[in-house]
Amino acid sequence: ALEFFPSPHPLRSGPLNNLATGVSTRFKQRGDPHDLDESITLDRQALDLRPSPHPDRSMQALDLRPSPHPDRSMSLNNLADGLLTRFEQQDNPHDLHCALRHISEAANSTSVSPSNRYKYARRWALRANQYHHSSTLQAFDLALSLIPQLVALGLDIWARQDTLSRHADRLVGQAAQCAINLGDFPMAVEFLETGRSVFWSQFLTLRSPLDRLKEISSVLAEDLHSISQQLERGSHQDRNSRTLSNREKFTLEAEANKYMKLAQDWDSKITEIRRLDGFQDFLRPKQFSALQAAAEDGAVIYLVDSEPASHCLVITASDVHHISLPDLPSHRLAELVHLVKVASSDRYVSRLVVDNVIGNLANDSPLEAALRKLTEEEDRGMRPETGLSKHISSDDIFRLVLGTLWDEAVKAVTETLGLTKSNDPSKVTWCATGLFNFLPIHAAGHYIEGKFDCASECFISSYTPTIEALLTPEPSSSKSFQMMAVIQSENLRSTHEELKRIEGHVPDSALKKFGIPGNPATMELIASELSSASLVHFACHGKQDPVNPLQSGLQIGGERLTIARIMRESVPNGSLAFLSACETVTGDAKIPDEAMNVASSLLFTGFRKVVATMWRMWDVDGPVIADAFYKELFTGPDGSRLEVPDTSKSAKALWVAVNELRAKGVEFRRWVPFIHMGK
Q: Which residues are CB-neighbours of 512 under 8 A, at least 6 positions away?
A: 482, 483, 484, 485, 529, 533
Residue ranges in the chain whose pLDDT is less than 50? 53-58, 241, 382-388
134 vs 281: CA distance, rounded Å: 26
Return mean pLDDT, the chain.
Answer: 89
254, exposed or middle or buried, with CB in 10 Å at 0-12, 13-18, 19+?
A: exposed
What pLDDT does residue 241 have? 47
What pLDDT does residue 113 have? 87
What pLDDT does residue 55 have? 44
Identify the architecture of domain 472-678 in CATH. 3-Layer(aba) Sandwich (3.40)
What are the Cα distances from residue 325, in Å, to 205, 335, 439, 496?
34, 16, 15, 45
pLDDT digits (tens, 9 = 90+) for 87-124: 988 899 999 999 999 999 999 988 888 899 999 999 99
> How large is the greatest C-alpha to C-alpha distance in the chain, in angstroms?
94
Q: What are phi and psi of 380, to 5 degrees?
A: -70, -30
Q: How far is CA 388 from the centre of its chain?
A: 39
What pLDDT does residue 455 have? 95
User: For residue 230, which of 254, 266, 196 has the smallest C-alpha distance?
Assistant: 266
624 vs 642: CA distance, rounded Å: 20
230 vs 206: CA distance, rounded Å: 10
679 vs 30: CA distance, rounded Å: 62
Report the CATH number of the 299-377+390-463 domain. 3.30.420
Omega cis (within 30) before 15: no
What pLDDT does residue 656 have? 97
Give the start-to-end residue ranges of the domains of the chain. 1-51+69-112, 209-237+245-274, 299-377+390-463, 472-678
What pLDDT does residue 369 have? 85
- Kindly state the DSSP code that residue 412 receives in the 8-state scheme: H
| Domain 1-51+69-112 in CATH 1.10.10 | no
522 vs 390: CA distance, rounded Å: 46
pTM for the full predicted model:
0.88
- Answer left, alpha or beta for residue 278, where phi above 0 means left and psi between -120 and 50 means alpha: left
